Amino acid sequence: MTELLWMNLKMIDPVIVFSKEKCDYCDKAKNLLSDKSLEFRELSLESDFKGDKEAFIAAISEKMPDGQEFDTVPQIFMGSRYIGGYTQLVRVIGE
């Protein structure tokens, strides 16, 4: 990845990670972001949405591009850009 692209990724605000407890891929995504020194805000089903799955899904769906669907977490956004899950995050920022 070029240095300029990397600097631009670090400037995107905010990185949002929708997650839930006991989710290995959520933990991997958060660890990867931390390892790359990318600040992020985690929105957790349990702590931020008090376990309300409908509200959690609605919050994610509101940020999704039209026609995009999801059925797993984490769901990651960088600014207004939808990234996807952990695998897509690795493709964008590397391991």
> pLDDT tens, 49-59?
999 999 999 99
- pLDDT for 13 beyond 70: no
Antiparallel, parallel or unpaired: β 75-78 and 15-19? antiparallel
Q: What is the pLDDT of residues 18-76, one digit of tens each?
A: 999 999 999 999 999 999 999 999 999 999 999 999 999 999 999 999 888 899 999 99
Where does the pLDDT of residue 1 fall: very low under 50, low under 70, confident under 90, or very high at 90 and above? Answer: very low
State the pLDDT at residue 14. Answer: 85
Cα separation, 59 vs 22, whole angstroms:
20
3-state helix, strand, coil in the chain (%, to 5): 40, 20, 40
